Amino acid sequence: MSCALRRCAAAILVAGFFLFPIVIPGGAQAIGGIPGFVPARAEMERQLEEKFRSIPDATHAENNSRHLTSEPHMAGTEASRRVAEWLRDQYRSFGFDVEIVSYNVWLPQPREVKLELTKPAHKPLASPEQPFDGDKATYDERAVTGFNAYSPSGEVTAQVVYVNYGTPDDYRELAALGVSVDGKVVLARYGRGYRGIKAKLAEEHKAAGLILYSDPEQDGYVAGDVYPRGPWRPMSGIQRGSIVYTQLYPGDPLTPGVAAIPGAKRIAPADAADLPRIPTMPINAQDASLILESLGGKHVPHGWQGGLPFTYHVGPGDAEVHMKLVMDYAQRPLYDVIATLHGTSDDERVVLGNHHDAWVFGAADPGSGTVAMLETGRALGELVRSGWKPRRTIMICHWDGEEPGLLGSTEWVEANRAELQAKAFAYINTDVGVAGPDFAASAPPSLKELLREVAREVRDPETGGSVYDAWREQVARAREKEQISGTGRQAPQAEASNDAPVEDLGAGSDFCPFFDYAGIPSIDMGFGGDYGVYHSLYDDFYWMKHFGDPTFGYHVALAQILGTVALRLDEADILPFDYPAYASKIEHTATDVFTRASAISQTDEDSMEPVLDAAAHLSASAARASQALRAISGAPLDSAKAGQINHALAGVEQAFLAPGGLAGRPWFKHVIYAPGSYAGYAAEMLPGETEALDRKDSAALHHEAESLAAALLRASSRLDDIARLAREAANSAPAGH
């Protein structure tokens, strides 16, 4: 395509039109049927799904939540092992084959966490979370103190500088003010990014230490009533969390790219690129206020003022703190629970997952997801007892060590990558499954419409309509609120004006190794809400029963959605993957990146030319494959041909993996989506090219563009194979079809 023609195409794309029409996902006819199913089987599938959705039960969900929150169960502890064994026994009772798979990983636990204000007056800080009468769990002495996993041990006495959220823009603001953090302890509030990136930036700016706190503007009294009167974080609440640099690689820090099993080659901790180098700790808002009130220096820039009732300054002034951290690092065991419901085709698999470790009690994170997954498993087991057999094998996995750094899921994927790539058609994840009534989901474009279709089938417990309708209405309210408030924050954007928005996959949960490392099509979902007790002592059964989901109806709804998505993928004749939508999104984004590169230099524009050509090829191949699949959507298919087509459909995602990974972080193989290096949990599309342009690195852009163009052409080739297989299936179909 000539440069002029390409720019014309770009204009069409920007105007909201696609070069190739989006057709019915997977090529299946949806008139009176279900995408992915031949008409003769669609009614059977509807009956199966309705029977499944009648089984999950709020009483079961509540009882399981009460059990899971009966004791703290942090990764690497005996309590986490007990949870794994209980889950194993539950799934065995449902009829699954179950095993516990163990890995030994480099994992810290806190031995001493100390903080004190030494100037202008001495005040002890690092105060514990306040217990509340009526919630006996908050008195549990087994709860771990507030700490940041993977902080090094260290002792620092230094002045303090307030860095707002600790983002790259915040450090640029400080530099403009003439304020250096070199040798200082920096104080950053949670929000607008992963805490590990805050630690990385503090380290890069030569800070001596980092203190994190939850400002009441984000999740405290500014947002609403605080616990125990309401769902928001009280002044004593502490957000625990890991600061390991998962933006470089998740999993065991000492075994990147290989499973942490006996005999695995382990690097020295000093050589682990994802381990932070400066001591870091979280504190509560009441302790942070004592530091902030003591800061001198200039008044903070616009947007830096938080919710505490005084004027913020950047420091340093007279404020000085002494922090001491003693961390106990050791090889500690993880316990992954792998439950399998064998299908007729064991070489075709649908995998579901949720983690079971929690910072303390974890009623929402992750217990609500665990409870919903248990109800999904129980309902599937009931279907089997009634005579149904899965078409494909269904696996339900509960990961250990997610909170410290996606440890259990990453090690399992690294151990089983080849088998997953050969057999797994999709991975379905939930984490904080229920923290309120607002549904949200993330997926690649190939699976977004499937999520919307399923949401239309499930009843919303509060409105009585569908989850899909409640989802759309909630997003519309959020957008209207943002327009009125003028905050500039963006509500989720839909792919079309009338659609509920399925977001792109970023990072922060167990889908990451499946999608970013193994190229397995993945989905993440859950119900959110006014969830102010994230990673705190107060995320317990009392909070869930009073604020999160008092009737446990949304736990049931999530189980119904998880199971219905699984059944659609398990039972489909042809997998309902929408590759024209995927190709269009890629071509649109590639055009945007090309336009940006063109504005910088001719060299950068030339680097992006092959990407646009390859993206156009991808769109054409996706259209041809979809047309060929549509031609066979009404006929019974030979099982061998269908199997070939489905394996090929699931394998398109793997074509987007670059063997050498992204520049500077080779563990991340996916060249279309990855978490941004400094964007935290948010997804970056075409990350190699986007970040090279951010750095104004033309050599890196050329390298990344070559890798991306090759991946797009690989995906085009696979889609062409699908079109060929579909045509062969059409030619071999019995006469009359």
Residue range 71-121, pLDDT digits in tens: 999 999 999 999 999 999 999 999 999 999 999 999 999 999 999 999 999
Are 84 and 162 within one domain?
no
How confident is residue 731, by pLDDT bands cut at 50, 70 and 90? confident
Amino acid at 506: G
Q: What does the alpha-carbon distance between residue 557 and residue 369 come to, in Å, rounded to a whole number?
A: 11
489 assigned to some structural domain: yes
Mean pLDDT of 12-21: 28
Where is average pLDDT lowest: 225-234, 252-261, 479-488, 609-618? 479-488
- Rounded percentage of the chain residues whose pLDDT exceeds 70: 93
What was the pLDDT predicted at 485? Answer: 53
Are 559 and 587 within one domain?
no
What was the pLDDT predicted at 24? Answer: 36
What was the pLDDT predicted at 478? Answer: 86
pTM for the whole thing? 0.94
Q: What does the alpha-carbon distance between residue 465 and residue 535 come to, in Å, rounded to a whole number?
A: 32
Are 653 and 724 within one domain?
yes
Q: Write out pLDDT tens, residues 199-237.
A: 999 999 999 999 999 999 999 999 999 999 999 999 999
CA dihedral 456, 459, 461, 464 (to 10 degrees): 90
Beta strand pairing call for 522-528 and 438-442? antiparallel
Range(s) of the domain holding residue 632: 3-38+575-732
Instruction: Render the burial of 394-431: b for 16+ CB within 10 Å, e for the rest.
Output: bbbbbbbbbbbbbbbbbbbbbbbbeebbebbbbbbbbb
How confident is residue 503, by pLDDT bands cut at 50, 70 and 90? very high
How confident is residue 636, by pLDDT bands cut at 50, 70 and 90? confident
155 assigned to some structural domain: yes
Amino acid at 576: P
What was the pLDDT predicted at 23? Answer: 33
Residue 523 backbone dihedrals phi, psi, to 5 degrees: -135, 145
Task: Check if the beta carbon of residue 434 is closer than 8 Å to that of residue 528.
Answer: no
197: Cβ contacts below 8 Å, ≥ 6 apart: 166, 245, 247, 678, 679, 680
389: Cβ contacts below 8 Å, ≥ 6 apart: 343, 344
Q: What does the alpha-carbon distance between residue 311 and residue 320 come to, in Å, rounded to a whole number?
A: 18
How confident is residue 483, by pLDDT bands cut at 50, 70 and 90? low
Please determine, for residue 410, whether its predicted confidence score (pLDDT) is greater than 50: yes
Q: What does the alpha-carbon distance between residue 529 and residue 438 come to, in Å, rounded to a whole number?
A: 6
- Tell which wins on pLDDT, 16 or 540: 540
Spatial CA neighbour of 401 closest among 689, 149, 641, 627: 149
Residue 587 backbone dihedrals phi, psi, to 5 degrees: -65, -40
How confident is residue 635, by pLDDT bands cut at 50, 70 and 90? confident
Determine whether 233 is exposed, middle or buried from the number of CB atoms within 10 Å of its CB (0-12, 13-18, 19+): buried
Are 280 and 218 within one domain?
yes
Element (H, E) at 722: helix 698-732
Please determine, for residue 13, whether its predicted confidence score (pLDDT) is greater than 50: no
- Tell which wins on pLDDT, 10 or 118: 118
Please determine, for residue 307, whether its predicted confidence score (pLDDT) is greater than 90: yes
Determine whether 263 is exposed, middle or buried from the number of CB atoms within 10 Å of its CB (0-12, 13-18, 19+): exposed
Mean pLDDT of 40-48: 95
699 assigned to some structural domain: yes
Q: Is 179 helix (H, G, I), strand (E, B) or coil?
A: coil
What was the pLDDT predicted at 228? Answer: 97
What was the pLDDT predicted at 735? Answer: 53
What was the pLDDT predicted at 480? Answer: 82
Spatial CA neighbour of 437 closest among 355, 558, 356, 566: 558
How confident is residue 409, by pLDDT bands cut at 50, 70 and 90? very high
- Sequence length of the chain is 737
What was the pLDDT predicted at 26? Answer: 39
Residue 344 CA: distances (Å) to CA of 381, 384, 649: 15, 12, 19
Task: Check if the beta carbon of residue 53 is closer than 8 Å to that of residue 585.
Answer: no
How confident is residue 532, by pLDDT bands cut at 50, 70 and 90? very high
First to last CA, the chain: 39
Q: Which of 315, 331, 347 is the last residue of a domain?
A: 331
440 assigned to some structural domain: yes
- Rounded percentage of the chain residues whose pLDDT exceeds 90: 89
Residue-averaged pLDDT of the chain: 93
Mean pLDDT of 137-158: 98
Q: What does the alpha-carbon distance between residue 117 and residue 322 come to, in Å, rounded to a whole number?
A: 6
Amino acid at 534: Y
What was the pLDDT predicted at 6? Answer: 36
- Say which CATH number the domain at 297 has: 3.50.30.30
Number of compact structural domains in the chain: 3
Mean pLDDT of 4-12: 34
Are 693 and 580 within one domain?
yes
Q: Which of 286, 303, 331 is the last residue of a domain?
A: 331
135 assigned to some structural domain: yes
How confident is residue 17, by pLDDT bands cut at 50, 70 and 90? very low
Among left, alpha and beta (phi > 0; psi -120 to 50; other), residue 581 is: alpha
Q: What does the alpha-carbon distance between residue 48 and residue 30 come to, in Å, rounded to a whole number?
A: 18
Are 226 and 305 within one domain?
yes
Mean pLDDT of 60-73: 98
Please determine, for residue 584, whether its predicted confidence score (pLDDT) is greater than 90: yes
Q: What does the alpha-carbon distance between residue 580 and residue 422 come to, in Å, rounded to a whole number?
A: 23
Please determine, for residue 18, whether its predicted confidence score (pLDDT) is greater than 70: no
Is residue 492 reached through a cis peptide bond, with omega within 30 degrees of 0 on the bond before it? no
Alpha helices by DSSP H, 632-652: 639-651
Please determine, for residue 403, whether its predicted confidence score (pLDDT) is greater than 50: yes
Are 292 and 392 within one domain?
no
Mean pLDDT of 451-478: 96
Q: Which of 331, 346, 380 is the last residue of a domain?
A: 331
What was the pLDDT predicted at 4? Answer: 34
Are 377 and 451 within one domain?
yes
Are 306 and 356 within one domain?
no
737 assigned to some structural domain: no
Are 22 and 56 within one domain?
no
Site of tokens 């994802």 = 274
Residues with catalytic function:
402
What was the pLDDT predicted at 161? Answer: 98
Are 484 and 628 within one domain?
no
Spatial CA neighbour of 352 closest among 324, 380, 326, 331: 380
Q: Write out pLDDT tens, residues 252-303.
A: 999 999 999 999 999 999 999 999 999 999 999 999 999 999 999 999 999 9
Q: What does the alpha-carbon distance between residue 39 and residue 449 come to, in Å, rounded to a whole number?
A: 19
Are 391 and 440 within one domain?
yes
Determine whether 493 is exposed, middle or buried from the number of CB atoms within 10 Å of its CB (0-12, 13-18, 19+): exposed
Taking the CA of residue 632 as centre, how many other CA atoms within 13 Å lie in the half-sphere pointing to its CB? 28
